[in-house]
Amino acid sequence: MNTIQPIATALLLLFATILVTPVMAQEDGEKAGIHYIMFKMDEELMSDISISVNDRNFLNGYSESPVFPMSLVDSVKEYLEHVAEEVLGVPAECVYKVNRRGKEVTSLGMNGELEGMPVDLLKAARNRHSDLDYFVRIDVNITGRGGKWIINPKDVRFKLKPTITLKITQFDSEGKVMFSEKLKVKEFGKLRTREVTSGDGRVTVRKSEILYPEDIYEMLLVIGGQYIETYKR
């Protein structure tokens, strides 16, 4: 009896199934909108030098931080769209609330928040984008953990170890949670800081090794890759 023909036929059917499945998924036309990205960074990890006047309550401090270029802000959003799409299995892109002037409403970049991110609330986004099947919120948080040692009361030194956390939450068109997972990565080098106070105690100067925008983007690439590997469906 010739068994080659049935085996060949079965293999052809198997390959046909494998090839047709992704096409059918694409033809389904489901789409996701990323309506909110909270990208928060500890300000102490971003401030190169800060000066505090300790006996003042008003205009009592000054600090310098590198500016996050808009080209890199766009790269952050594009990469988060990629991560969401890989993990959730549907095309995903940022969607925005628009003000009366027709301008997209985004985060302002205050208090350690990255500017230019979508900040639409879920209920409003669902009403605004009825063509979408899913809605996505992404939370990125970069913090510094570590210890300090005191040379003397007016000379304090720190070592901070940056940690990044990524959380993606997917909602259906009714607002029900379909997916929500968080991942933390802390395998990064330590940043050194020195804080010196003047003899009379009036002025404190803090000089730090910091995270530059490019460092933050590299951290995002690391955790994004691990997130895809861990949670891709």
- Higher pLDDT: 99 or 36? It is 36
| Dist CA 138 CA 121 (whole Å) | 12
Instruction: Kindly state the DSSP code that residue 186 receives in the 8-state scheme.
Output: -
How much is the pLDDT for 21? 37
Do the domain assignments include residue 39? yes
**Region 205-230: what's the mean pLDDT?**
94
How much is the pLDDT for 62? 63
Do the domain assignments include residue 18? no
Which residue range forms the structural domain that includes residue 226? 32-231
Confidence check: pLDDT of 179 > 90:
yes
Confidence of residue 95 (pLDDT cuts 50, 70, 90): very high
Do the domain assignments include residue 14? no
**Region 70-89: what's the mean pLDDT?**
97
Do the domain assignments include residue 15? no
Q: Count CB-CB contacts under 10 A for residue 34.
A: 26
Confidence check: pLDDT of 144 > 60:
yes
pLDDT digits (tens, 9 = 90+) for 8-62: 444 344 444 433 334 334 336 899 999 999 999 998 898 888 888 877 766 566 6
Q: What's the structural domain count of the chain?
A: 1
Do the domain assignments include residue 12? no
Cα angle vertex 101, ends 100, 104, to 5°? Answer: 90
DSSP letters, 94-147, are: E--EE-TTSPEEB----TTBPTT-BB--HHHHHHH-TT-SEEEEEEEEEEEEEE
- The answer to whether the Cα torsion of 167, 172, 177, 178 is positive or negative is negative
pLDDT digits (tens, 9 = 90+) for 218-229: 999 999 999 999
Confidence of residue 80 (pLDDT cuts 50, 70, 90): very high
Do the domain assignments include residue 214? yes
Do the domain assignments include residue 95? yes
Do the domain assignments include residue 51? yes
How much is the pLDDT for 13? 44
